[in-house]
Amino acid sequence: MIASEDNKEVLRSLLLPVESLLTAYPAVQLTSTTHFYIQRGQAVLIPHAPTQGYVKLISSDRNFIGIGVILSDGRVAPKRLIKH
């Protein structure tokens, strides 16, 4: 079946955001500085972050950017990032 432009818009409107799959993970809000380092693969210290497990990484402009993991020293390390 070939989708028309109208059908594509209807289908697109039914899609959920990627982060809707991660409701069990706590969100960690990044600053512009911590976002810079996370995007380069470096672990960062985030005040008041959870002490273990996986987290949703949220940019300073409130966009989902990926999944992080809490390291044993309390820093947040990127696990999987989404390129926007």
Q: Which domains does the chain have, with CATH numbers?
A: 5-81 (2.30.130.10)
The arithmetic mean of pLDDT across residues 25-30, rounded, is 96
Of the CA atoms within 13 Å of residue 43, those in its CB half-sphere come to: 12
% of the chain surpassing 90 pLDDT: 70
**pLDDT band of 31, cuts 50, 70, 90:** very high
Is the pLDDT at 2 greater than 80? The verdict is no
Which tens digits make up the pLDDT trace of 35-70? 999 999 999 999 999 999 999 999 999 999 999 999
Cα–Cα distances (Å) from 16 to 38, 51, 80, in that order, read 25, 29, 19
